[in-house]
Amino acid sequence: MKIISSEFMASVYNKSQYPKRRLKEISIVGRSNVGKSSLINYLLNKKTAKTSSTPGKTRSLNYYLINENFYLVDLPGYGYAKVSKTEKEEWQKFLTFYIANNEYMRVIFLLIDIRHELKENDAQMIEYIKHNHIPCLIVLTKADKLNTAELRRQSEYYNNIELEIPKVITSAEKGTGKNELLKYIEEFLKDN
């Protein structure tokens, strides 16, 4: 698959704001500061998503129209953000509703920083995705931050965890994993 065109469409804070034109969706979720914006920019070949040194900046569902025929949807990060407990709970409710009640979603790309072992909230997200019978791909980000030995060790660690979910190692900095991700997107869009 080739990304020919991409356009930011909307920031959505509740279900009444979903784009009027409903299309298949590829959703991207992960902990704050996992590199979602960098990955989106890398996939789309342009700086569309805003990157920040402050984790937790994404507070809405951000819809990007790709090739005029599907949406890439950037979900709010979880696990860290300097916001009130009430606001975190609101995000969580909306995110939970979006995942559990979305007939347009074809797959969730769950981003995990390969430098770290699986965090509890990542494991909870995996269980929630499985519970809702949604196809998932684990995207291990920031591979460029590890040397060869560390990368091999972390790859083995994730390969040995029985998650029953395919995994792709990526680096937006070094250009790793893009073709694999595009192939997965193409496959998931073919279904139904």
Name the phi and psi angles at 183, rounded to 5: -65, -40
pLDDT at 119: 93
Q: What is the pLDDT of residue 192?
A: 56
Q: If the chain, 192 residues long, is cut into consecutive pieces of 10 residues, what is the mean pLDDT of each piece?
A: 93 90 95 90 82 57 95 85 71 83 94 96 92 94 96 95 90 93 94 60
**Backbone angles phi and psi of 168, in degrees to 5:** -130, 130
The number of angstroms, rounded, from the C-alpha of 126 to the middle of its chain's C-alpha atoms is: 12
Within a domain: 52: yes
**108 close to 27: Cβ distance less than 8 angstroms:** yes
- Structural domain count, the chain: 1
Question: Considering the domain boundaries, does residue 13 fall inside one?
Answer: yes
Range(s) of the domain holding residue 71: 7-190
Domain CATH code at residue 46: 3.40.50.300
For residue 74, give the nearest of 93, 50, 104 by alpha carbon.
Answer: 50
In whole angstroms, give the CA distance from residue 142 to residue 148.
13
Tokens in use for 21? 């034109």
* pTM, to two decimals: 0.90
- Is residue 2 in a domain? no
Instruction: Determine how β-strand 167-169 pairs with β-strand 6-12.
Output: unpaired
Residue 109 belongs to a domain: yes
Adjacent-strand bridge partners of 61: 12
Report d(CA 140, CA 45) in Å as an integer: 19
Q: Per the domain annotation, does 126 fall within a domain?
A: yes
| DSSP H helical ranges for the chain | 36-44, 85-100, 120-131, 148-160, 178-190
| Residue 34, token pair as written in the block | 């996992």
